[in-house]
Each structure stands twice: as structure tokens, then as C-alpha cells.
Amino acid sequence: MLDYHLHLWPHGERDTAPTLDQVAAYCERAAAGGVTEIALTEHLFRFSQADRLLRGFWLDEPDAALRMSMESYWDEHARADLDAYVGCVLAAQDAGLPVVLGLEVDYYRGRMDDVAALLAGYPFDVLLGSVHWIGTWRFDDLDDRVSMDQWTVRQVDAAWSDYVGAIEELAASGTCDVLAHPDLVKAAGHRTGAPEECWDRLVEAAVSSGMAAELSSAGYRKPAAEAYPAPPLLERFVRHGVPLTTASDAHRLADVADRSAELAGQLSALEVGSLRAFRRRRPHDVPWQAEVRLP
């Protein structure tokens, strides 16, 4: 198995310089859960380099509460140094640890060319594409009252459609390799009454862009109470030949490789024989039942 979505710092915790010992502990925890290769994929917005590039994207938000909430959230997170992060993961690779260098890249409308130019200067192995906000609404931030209150004044079906539209735009940008938690919009437990249309659009976004899709256990730890993607969407990805990665989306050591056995069961039930792995942004397939080694 793979765990291709891991974070070094919990949300709300001040970032500290990553260390080789920290990466080694992640690898050890992953191995105990049957995972043979991990990808560290910290959020781009946690780095000062992204702050200089993207700060203020929220300024055209007409809702003052949402605007202030996003600015506060950004200030809380944009503290780490991307060069130090990259250097630590490369040192871990040199030490023989089964880790690849990744990043989780949120969608910034009209700014993805700038994002791609920044990331091109680093030797990333895999880039996860994700949508965590619609405009400046952080629809999955369960700890933010301003964000959660929006669910009481917005139409759920419209929120789902807007989310899928952002995923479609992200996929079409060609910036990333994997669609992270493809139906994340359900995280807070709100589900559209007509999911099939959204599922079909998500599948088409993956197929047309050539991106892989992520099977993540993180949804079990949220009100959604199921994996991302939902079983019918996962089946659609498999039926249309979309390659898969597996992930825990852990933000702390204890959640690394979370429910990897359950993810393996879902793969087995759909007769998925391999997972998509990456090295220097180049994909290769690995049998998920067997040991994975870096090419």
C-alpha cells in the first residue's frame, strides 16, 4: 500500500523546521500499517514562498466575515520555509527512507500559472491538486464558525456544483498529478440530492486531464463518515480506468496509514491490482499488495 498524502503539522499548530527523525517516524508508522512508500505533501499555503506569491487572493470577497476569516487563516499558516521542507525530504531519500517529495496544491483561480512557475523550481515527485475553498469559503473547516455558518444559508446542491466546477478548472490547468479527496465537499456531512451528475463530472475531469484519483481514509474521521471518494464514485473511477493512489491525509503521526486495511479491502473488492506512484512527476504503477521500491 501507499500513503501518498501526509502532513507534518496539524492545522492550528505553529510550523517547526522538519527533521529527518520526524520523517523517519512517519515511515516507521506507515510500515507498521502495511504501507511501503509514503509521500509528504504539505499544503503549499503553509510556506512563506506561497505567501509572497498569493497573499490577498481573498480581497475581492464581498462578504467581510469570510474575507477576514480567510486572512486570519492564511496568517496562521503561512510561516514555514519551502526550501527547508524540500531539503529535509531529499535528505530522507538520500538516507534510504521510502519517501517521495510532494505538495498539496490548492486551486487559486487565475493564478495556477504563477503556482506552476514557482513549483517548477523544485524537484517534486508528486503534486496533489485539491479544492478546500469555494471563493474564500472554507467549506470543510469544521473548526471555523464563519465557514460552517455558510452551510445554513447556501444551497447544498449549488455548493456541490461549485466545488466540482473548481475541481474541473484545477484539473484542466495541468498543474497537478492527483485529485486529492475528490469529493471533499461532503466533509461536513452535507450531501447533494443528485450526486450522480457531480460524480460523472469528477470522473470526466480526471479522465480528460490524465490525473490519478486519491482513495483516502480521512473522510472516516469527519462527519462524512466514509472514505473519499464515496463507493459509487470510486467504482466510476475504476470503471473508466482512472489510476488510484491511497492515502490517510494524516496531520499527526498517530493517523499515518489510518485504516489502510479498509482501503485495501475496497481495492480488492473492485479488483484493482495496482496503484499509481510517482517519481519526479513521472507516473509508474506498482502492485499494491507487494513491496514498493523507488525506481
Which pLDDT does position 10 carry in this prediction? 82
CB atoms within 10 A of CB 21: 9
The pLDDT-based confidence of 288 (bands split at 50, 70, 90) is confident
Q: What is the rounded CA–CA span in Å between residue 283 and residue 278?
A: 4
Tell me the C-alpha distance between 173 and 116, whole Å: 9
14 confidence band (pLDDT: 50, 70, 90) = low
pLDDT at residue 74 is higher than 50:
yes
pLDDT band for 79, please (50, 70, 90 cuts).
confident
- What per-residue confidence (pLDDT) applies to 106? 96
Q: Which among 251, 256, 258, 254 has a CA at the least distance from the CA of 77?
A: 251
**DSSP 8-state secondary structure symbol assigned to residue 230:** P
**Burial, 64: exposed, middle or buried (Cβ in 10 Å; 0-12, 13-18, 19+)?**
exposed
Report d(CA 12, CA 17) in Å as an integer: 16
Is the per-residue pLDDT at 158 higher than 70?
A: yes
Tens-digit pLDDT profile for residues 217-266: 999 999 999 999 999 999 999 999 999 999 999 999 999 999 999 999 99
Q: Tens digit of pLDDT for each residue in 163-203?
A: 999 999 999 999 999 999 999 999 999 999 989 999 999 99
The rounded percent of the chain whose pLDDT value lies above 70 is 96
**Whole-angstrom distance, CA of residue 90 vs CA of residue 71:** 32
Domains of the chain as residue ranges with CATH:
2-287 (3.20.20.140)
> Tens digits of per-residue pLDDT, 110-126?
999 999 999 999 999 99
pLDDT given at position 292: 42
Task: Describe the strand order of the beta sheet including 178-179 as a list of residue ranges.
Answer: 2-6, 37-43, 99-106, 126-130, 178-179, 212-216, 244-247
CB 222 within 8 A of CB 231: no
**What cell numbers appear for 36 in the block?**
511501503
Percent of the chain residues past pLDDT 90, beyond the cut: 92
Task: Please say if the pLDDT value at position 294 is more than 70.
Answer: no
